A = this chain, B = another copy of it.
């Protein structure tokens, strides 16, 4: 194959990034592949001032592209799950390969789309959907193809990582304050719920778990906890006992089932994932042969996302237009409906923070309650008295979620304990 014709649907930040990267590095790509990627048509509601569309066929109707017989590959960058779903289905029906950066589309409709692509014999690729410019889809599906993946944990949302990093660095800024800055910098949306409550990370975790374990996409089963309750005080206490707080997506295969969870997590300061700051992303994978590997890079932005989109297109080019790798990473018939473990049955170590009245016997009461639930204490720190209250920090050993919940309920019922407990999971990997 000496040429591959692509149609770019959507010319926003990422669309413009892909357009310009294909133009800028056309020679470099030809040096690598012996072939050229030609932009046959662009579909967009309005032109993008960052793209020179002089010699490009532009359509205001994106559906014109999926019906253009010249086009081999549809690059879907319109986002959302309505038009994008219709567009991708029509592209597949017309035997066109599809490359997308749309994590929600694949997380929610991947099963149907993979089936359709499989039947049509086309590729449906989505490297850009997870962790921006990091080739982690390729690493898991191909680089670790000989392995059984046991566990993965990722910082897969730049917004939450930026906020936590800023709170940690500044030391005196609240979540709300830093969120405002992230919005001003364009790192967070006007409605930031999607990022800060973990929905975006859950979409990506759904894809990662599916391609790592060969399990059905199961977005609805992901346990979600956001970062809005994390205080600067928690970040400081965590630091004192040797940890950083990161918002992780975690997938683990155990004898009980698969754990799928997105939540703030204390991780040891010396861990590789603890070094991932600001809007950077990283995914750590533990697999049976390779052991621990980690993939690090920019999680978003026009350049990094375009890098992954173009990598997918080059894969299709190099495969001479054949669908070369099972789209879901596994043969469709081999994908299993693995049971997802309910969060109440998951074991974790915990960081607990509570405020107690400065009275004798408080510590004994707390210890007794924990002990009655068979919860061992790994670390216990009583901080200085402040306004008649004593902050107490506890790190427990691994216990079942339901045990810690029961203990927390009893602790909060003590009249020496003021207000609610703060509870954050502690990584044991």
Contacts and interface: CB of A to CB of B under 8 A. Distances in A.
Interface of A: 17, 21-22, 24-25, 28-34, 127, 133-135, 138-139, 141-148, 214, 270, 272, 275, 287-298, 301, 303-304, 306-311, 313-315, 318-319, 324-326, 329-331, 334
B148 A25 contact: yes
Nearest to A139: B135
Given A290-B303, A297-B291, A142 B133 contact: no
Contacts of A33: 145, 326, 331
A297 B289 CA distance: 11
Contacts of A290: 133-134, 297-298, 303-304, 307-308
A29 B138 CA distance: 16
Given A139-B143, A303-B288, A331-B34, A148 B293 contact: no
Contacts of A306: 146, 289
A15 to B, nearest CB: 14
Contact of A314 (B145, B297, B309, B318): B145
Nearest to A214: B31
Contacts of A307: 144, 146-147, 287, 289-290
Contacts of A288: 24-25, 303
A289 B303 contact: yes
Contact of A293 (B289, B292, B295, B334): B295
Given A32-B329, A289-B303, 7 more contacts: A32-B141, A134-B143, A135-B144, A143-B308, A289-B307, A294-B297, A319-B319
A310 B146 contact: yes
Nearest to A318: B325
B324 A318 contact: yes
A32 B289 contact: no
Interface centre among A139, A214, A301, A324 (most CB of B within 10 A): A139
